[in-house]
Chain A
Amino acid sequence: MTGPTVAAPRETPPANPLAEFLLRLGDDRLVLGHRLSEWCGHAPILEEDIALANIALDLVGQASAFLAAAGEAEGQGRTDDTLAYFRDEREFRNALLVERPNGDFAVTILRQFLFDAWSVLLLDALKTCGYAPLAAIAAKALKEATYHLRHSSEWVLRLGDGTDESHARAQRALDDLWRFTGELFQTDAVDEAVAGMGIRVDYAALRSRWNDMVSDVVKRATLALPADQPAATGGRRGRHSEYLGHMLAEMQSVARAHPGATW
């Protein structure tokens, strides 16, 4: 006699790896862009109000392009807006790093710097990939990301090699954020599947170059590179921190109160 089936696979692999890969790229930028936009009107100097809004704008623009491509790849008629506004937190695929709360300006800058260095390298690899729609978006986004990295690197130098207080804050931010960087280089079945479609990224090489870039700036900023520690992961499978749900509740509130409306 057979009872109800209780044994199930540990993980269900994503049905559409290409769409999944594009969602990850889009969600990273949507969530980080949103976080930066929270600074609007509250930055330490007017020039940074302008710069942070500008970077937020670029990131949301990139997110829109990646999410639209994800919707196309998925082929179920979902647009960038449906994907941004009508998915729950478990369906978001961003890395945990980008959903970290803004904290003080040092946390925002260090989070940005760690992301920008990675993003520049990843986009540079993707701009020559074999999937043309992705290559085109990556090429355009790379130009913006290069500027973002310059901005965040300069601020890491100023904060690290500024006053005792700014140095301490920058070091604390770097130490706190470090465990979220490992996830950026993790690969899974999705990466393997898209490699077969011409989207090949050598994450080991990417990580080594990222380490060099980050170490160089951190050293010049007179900061100390944190020791290796176990990576906090889960974002790529929709297992987020508790922070993301609150962010999405705010971001999606108007759109969800009026489903089907045009804005």
Chain B
Amino acid sequence: MEQKPQATPEDPAKLAQFQARIDAGESIEPKDWMPERYRKQLVRMMSQHAHSEIVGMLPEGNWITRAPSLRRKMSLLAKVQDEAGHGLYIYCGTETLGVDRAELVDQLLDGRAKYSSIFNYPTLSWADIGVIGWLVDGAAIVNQTVLAKASYGPYARAMIRICKEENFHKRQGFEIVATLAAGTPAQQAMVQDAVNRWWWPSLMMFGPSDTDSPNSAELLRWKVKHKTNDELRQRFVNLTVPQAIAVNLTLPDPDLTYNAETKNWEFGEIDWAEFHEVIRGNGPCNRERLAARRAAHENGRWVREAAEAHAAKQRRRSTEAA
């Protein structure tokens, strides 16, 4: 695919050597030589991932204060805490590529950086918490299991660790869904409604169709990705449909049919207009999410300044004492 001309063209010999390492399945480490474009793609993907963890705390945090039992309140708190931890961990991973967290956070807050569009949808009932765990974490796991084999070592290692926790979140989410689906008529209606709202946005989490994915070819060549968006989306649908059947829930797609030959659950057309609108900032909650992050950042400025000032005083004191 076409690349933008770069200020300093990469050395062809080094490029070839790099590609040979990739092809041999070697892991690229922070101090290794890498093409500038590879570095940029990884910074983009990793920071988007970290931002998604951070913004993702908001829709789930929306129900921590209303969780209907103490056990659920605790597991949701633990989950959101894990997400903050993932964000921190991936920001640190991104720092190995020479970009610091403050700069990445600025990019998020001024709207230059993207995060997963799924978090621009509102959480409207307790059932959304179960369905997010089941579908959204489920989709993230399908993506991340493959990213755990990514050629960039720090990213791959982060994914292995994060996947373990995400699997736990998904099980918890499915348990909430199964409990509601076997509950009172009101609980059943609540969970079906949540599935109806989250199903299509979950499928959109895998990104644009392969015919419309600008970054895919390059990322596959560099083994940052190992599967295309459509392959992963299909894998997710195939995994999830039997789970929906198991708990007696329907999925809002009249075209959903099993193809015995390909063993795939074939699904209807994604609303790509909606997909692009949400990316462009016109989803139901884009503005609220960014406003909440900005407010937290602005309201916390004096706290961060205090911590820095205190640390500087401590350093000065220990130098004076020495």
Residues of A near any B CB (own CB < 8 A): 30, 34, 37-38, 40-50, 53-54, 56-57, 60-61, 63-64, 67, 80-81, 84-85, 104-105, 157-159, 161-163, 165-166, 169, 250-251, 253-255, 258, 260-263
Pair B64/A50 contact, Cβ less than 8 Å: no
Pair B57/A41 contact, Cβ less than 8 Å: yes
Pair A44/B72 contact, Cβ less than 8 Å: no
One of A50, A63, A163 near B302 (C-beta < 8 A):
A163
**Chain A residue contacts of B80, Cβ below 8 A:** 40-41, 53
**Chain B residue contacts of A261, Cβ below 8 A:** 68, 183-184, 186-187
Pair B54/A158 contact, Cβ less than 8 Å: no
Pair B295/A42 contact, Cβ less than 8 Å: yes
**Chain B residue contacts of A41, Cβ below 8 A:** 54, 57-58, 61, 80, 292, 296
Which residue of A is nearest B130, CB measured?
A: A263
Pair A255/B300 contact, Cβ less than 8 Å: no
A158 to B87, CA, bound (A): 25
Which residue of B is nearest A161, CB measured?
A: B310
**Quick check: is B85 within 8 A (CB to CB) of the other chain?**
yes
**Chain A residue contacts of B183, Cβ below 8 A:** 261-262
Pair B306/A162 contact, Cβ less than 8 Å: yes
One of B74, B180, B303, B313 near A64 (C-beta < 8 A):
B74
Expressed in whole angstroms, the minimum distance between the Cβ of A255 and any Cβ of chain B is 4
Pair B81/A50 contact, Cβ less than 8 Å: yes
Pair A258/B184 contact, Cβ less than 8 Å: yes
Pair A50/B65 contact, Cβ less than 8 Å: no
**Quick check: is B217 within 8 A (CB to CB) of the other chain?**
no
Pair A60/B77 contact, Cβ less than 8 Å: yes
Contact with A along B39-77 (1 / 0, CB 8 A): 000000000000000100110010011111111111001
A212 to B77, CA, bound (A): 34
Contact with A along B84-95 (1 / 0, CB 8 A): 110110010000
**Chain A residue contacts of B70, Cβ below 8 A:** 30, 60, 63-64, 67, 80-81, 84
Residues facing A in B266-307 (CB within 8 A) are 292, 295-296, 299-307
For the complex of A and B, the 4 pairs showing the least CB-CB separation, nearest first, are: A44-B300, A162-B306, A166-B306, A44-B303
Instruction: Given A158-B310, A254-B126, check contact A49 B57 (CB 8 Å).
Output: yes
A sample of 9 inter-chain contacts (CB < 8 A) reads: A40-B77, A41-B54, A48-B300, A48-B303, A49-B81, A57-B81, A250-B65, A250-B66, A263-B179
Which of A162, A250, A253 has the largest count of B CB atoms less than 10 A from its CB?
Answer: A162
**Chain A residue contacts of B88, Cβ below 8 A:** 46-47, 50
**Quick check: is B309 within 8 A (CB to CB) of the other chain?**
yes
**Chain B residue contacts of A56, Cβ below 8 A:** 77
Instruction: Given A41-B292, A85-B68, check contact A46 B54 (CB 8 Å).
Output: yes
**Quick check: is B15 within 8 A (CB to CB) of the other chain?**
no
**Chain A residue contacts of B184, Cβ below 8 A:** 258, 260-261
Given contact pairs A45-B307, A251-B66, a sample of 16 additional A-B residue pairs in the complex whose CB atoms are under 8 Å apart? A41-B58, A42-B295, A44-B296, A44-B304, A48-B303, A54-B81, A159-B303, A163-B305, A165-B302, A165-B306, A169-B302, A254-B68, A260-B184, A261-B183, A261-B184, A263-B71
Pair A34/B65 contact, Cβ less than 8 Å: yes
A103 to B2, CA, bound (A): 53
Pair B74/A60 contact, Cβ less than 8 Å: yes
**Quick check: is B20 within 8 A (CB to CB) of the other chain?**
no
**Quick check: is B124 within 8 A (CB to CB) of the other chain?**
no
Expressed in whole angstroms, the minimum distance between the Cβ of A112 and any Cβ of chain B is 14
Pair B309/A57 contact, Cβ less than 8 Å: no
Pair B65/A104 contact, Cβ less than 8 Å: no
**Chain A residue contacts of B309, Cβ below 8 A:** 162-163, 166
A53 to B64, CA, bound (A): 10
Expressed in whole angstroms, the minimum distance between the Cβ of A147 and any Cβ of chain B is 14
Instruction: Given A42-B292, A161-B313, A261-B184, check contact A254 B67 (CB 8 Å).
Output: yes
One of A45, A53, A67, A165 near B81 (C-beta < 8 A):
A53
**Chain B residue contacts of A30, Cβ below 8 A:** 70
A250 to B292, CA, bound (A): 20
**Quick check: is B247 within 8 A (CB to CB) of the other chain?**
no
**Chain A residue contacts of B69, Cβ below 8 A:** 81, 85, 255, 263
One of B66, B67, B305 near A162 (C-beta < 8 A):
B305
**Chain A residue contacts of B64, Cβ below 8 A:** 37, 40
**Quick check: is B78 within 8 A (CB to CB) of the other chain?**
yes
Which residue of A is nearest B301, CB measured?
A: A44
A64 to B77, CA, bound (A): 14
Pair A45/B68 contact, Cβ less than 8 Å: no
Expressed in whole angstroms, the minimum distance between the Cβ of A151 and any Cβ of chain B is 13
A162 to B69, CA, bound (A): 40
A27 to B183, CA, bound (A): 29
A162 to B302, CA, bound (A): 9
A163 to B306, CA, bound (A): 5
Expressed in whole angstroms, the minimum distance between the Cβ of B183 and any Cβ of chain A is 6
